[in-house]
Amino acid sequence: MRAYKGLVKDGKIILAEGAELPEGAVVTITIGEAEYIKASLRSALLRNQRRKAKVRVAVPALTALLAKKM
């Protein structure tokens, strides 16, 4: 059994330069706990950066009505 190092990018495994696997080879992927946690946190943080909170603007007419009642 041989081990190859690589990186997952866009759901695909990119092997280190010079690593060649025979066509049709059956592979097993293992991930270390620390790497899994780092990747999960990085993914969550990147996801939140893309989503921006929507700014809600109060309707001026409604605010004026509420101000008059007070």
| pLDDT at position 49 | 53
Query: How many Cβ atoms sit within 10 Å of the Cβ of residue 49?
Result: 7
pLDDT of the residue at 51: 60
- For residue 61, pLDDT over 70 is answered with no
> Of 5, 9, 69, whose CA–CA distance to 43 is shortest?
9
Residues 1-60 pLDDT 10s? 778 888 888 888 888 888 888 888 888 888 788 878 888 888 777 765 556 666 666 666
